[in-house]
Amino acid sequence: MSTVGKLRTYFSIRELIQFVSELSRFHRIQGTKELIEASNYIRDTASDAGFDVVIHEFSYSSMPPYLPDITGWWVRDGAVELVKPFRKVLSSFTNASTTVVAHSPPGEFEGKVLYISDESKVPDSVDGIVLTHDTSFDMYVKVVRAGAQAIMYFRTEGDPSGIPYLGLFPSRRDLPNMKIPAVAISRSDAQEIIRCIEEGEEVVVKGFVKSGYTDEPPPARVIEVKIGDGYREVHVVAHYCHPAGTVNDNVSGSAGLLEAVLALDRAIRDGVIKLSSLGHPISAVWVPEYYGSFPLVLKKLNEGIEIAGAINLDMIGEKQSLTNSTLQLVRAPIKLLSNLEALAYYNLVSAIPSVPSFSSPSRLPKVRFAVVNYEVGSDHDAYITLGRPALMINQWPDKYYHSNLDRIDKFSPELASSISLAAISTAVEYSILDKSNRTHLKGLAEKYVRFVSGLDLLNVYHDTRLVRAREEIYNKLNSDGKGGATCSYRPAIVLKRHGLVITRSVRAYASTDTYLKFKLMLRRHRWLRTALNLLILNAYLHRKVPLKDAKLDLIGELGCDISDNVLDTL
């Protein structure tokens, strides 16, 4: 029987649903006390099961330089109501925790609504409340300086009735600008308000936010449960932050990982899985997104602990018939292709629900499933930017993403359990095989390389330049699936500091012209964030990279061309 099959016997879907329900009660915003309370729940559940839980705490005030510091914050209530031309409650914290924008200042407001689409259109003076879909921090600051009473946000994508989850997340130096309340409403209500304004009607809203800032935020707390001994760890990671009531992002991953670890422990206690057979320890890790994973990886590496690889569980519980999402195995960059990724693909395909085909012995997945080239956006980035193989299992797109409608009714316990079992089984099998049967592991990886390289080359077959670029990356892969040889040419790109490029950080250290150009580029092409991480990884692995080689590597990884002008800005 497969490892997935063995562990499925010990995996309780009833417990999984209980964990999802209880974890989602906490308003898990970074920099708040409730995020600590959520971590206590994970800690206590693991401790009660008999695990020795390791707590890592990192200060939001002294993060790595590429992660802006975050202030402490609390919120108790908030609401916004339409007063004219008719009365209607637009949103309330009681019914939707996303009503109050994360880290909004407190305050009361009542006045005329002015619709301003983006920061370039903010007038010098504003009398009233601004309605906008520009969610940038720059927009907030401009509206504050223009004298508005409050700002109401809506989102142009997703379900029109959803109230979006948005955040300001000011650093300490931003606090002088935090002067007006920020709330969120649905796109359908925003469009109705805009229509009234365009027809010449006066629109008036009133509302309030009860919140505040603290002198020092609670720590960014990481919970770790380690199974086995040694200094070469395999990580399975999930972030446990985000608003109360929201489930798929990412209570689904956190709860799934928690139940998977309990199932593994039960199997070990029954002798179904031999603890002595593990060649490396398996670390289950729950983190605040980025603010837990990046410091943790740095801490581990500084302590001399080797990380063999990581599997990131993010948004794994989608009920696809409602969310319109696709289950994705988001690969590591090609140059970090690994045995762990090969095992993860095999176990994921084996674990997800399937049905017999029409007239062959094959089986077909009951869910939409795709293998996707590397893209940024979650905690696998913390490992990849430091040259450690990491993949993400998630579901995308989700029409209810980052909104109050990401509720438990959109959650599939069956799919979440299959994905969680696939992830923990991959970690177990990698740990065992890397100790006892590396030949088998290598053979599996070689077959996987042929599979994904074939897909990668077919996907760019229309462009011989892209084909050559991808072939070059695959030709440099070592037999164990790690990146190619160190570059010895004269450098054009040199890594001076590892990390991640975040727009807020660029605003802090780049010139105004560069920052604005960079922000406009990202607004037009979100995938350029992935391009940046690939450049950072390439420089991290090789230290010195000629610009010509960096560009060839980049278009090979991305599978699309990139202009010299864009590359220069990046």
Write the pLDDT tens digit of every residue in 216-229.
999 999 999 999 99
CATH 3.50.30.30 domain position(s) in the chain: 75-214
Q: Which helix (H) or strand (E) holds 320?
A: helix 320-323
The residue count of the chain comes to: 570
Domain at 75-214: CATH code: 3.50.30.30
Give 116's Cβ-side CA count (13 Å radius): 27
Burial of 267 (0-12, 13-18, 19+ CB in 10 A): buried
Give pLDDT tens digits for 283-311.
Answer: 999 999 999 999 999 999 999 999 999 99
Q: How far is CA 47 from CA 40, 276, 376, in A?
A: 10, 22, 33
Torsion of CA 539, 541, 547, 548, to 10 degrees: -160
pLDDT at 111: 98
Is residue 345 a contact partner of residue 329, using CB atoms and an 8 Å limit? yes
Give 14's Cβ-side CA count (13 Å radius): 2
Instruction: Supply φ then ψ for residue 523, to 5 degrees.
Output: -65, -35
* Token representation of residue 155: 């989102």
* Token representation of residue 166: 């948005």
**pLDDT-based confidence at residue 415 (cuts at 50, 70, 90):** very high
With 0.85 as the threshold, say if the pTM is over it: yes
CATH 3.40.630.10 domain position(s) in the chain: 3-68+218-447
Q: Prior bond to 85 cis, omega within 30?
A: yes
Calculate Rg over the CA atoms of the chain: 24
Choosing among 3.40.50.300, 3.40.630.10, 2.40.50.140, 3.40.50.2300, the CATH entry for 3-68+218-447 is 3.40.630.10
How many Å apart are CA 135 and CA 137, to the nearest integer? 7
What is the β-pairing status of strands 53-58 and 107-115? unpaired
Is residue 182 a contact partner of residue 168, using CB atoms and an 8 Å limit? yes
Q: Which of 530, 532, 550 has its CA nearest to residue 487?
A: 550
Give pLDDT tens digits for 209-266.
Answer: 999 999 999 999 999 999 999 889 999 999 999 999 999 999 999 999 999 999 999 9
Whether the predicted pLDDT of 144 surpasses 80: yes
Helix boundaries (H) for 503-560: 503-509, 512-524, 528-542, 547-558
Whether the predicted pLDDT of 30 surpasses 50: yes
How many Å apart are CA 326 and CA 352, to the nearest integer? 13
Give pLDDT tens digits for 350-406.
Answer: 999 999 999 999 999 999 999 999 999 999 999 999 999 999 999 999 999 999 999
Whether the predicted pLDDT of 192 surpasses 90: yes
Is residue 343 a contact partner of residue 429, using CB atoms and an 8 Å limit? yes
pLDDT at 487: 29
Whether the predicted pLDDT of 425 surpasses 50: yes
How many Å apart are CA 308 and CA 235, to the nearest integer? 8
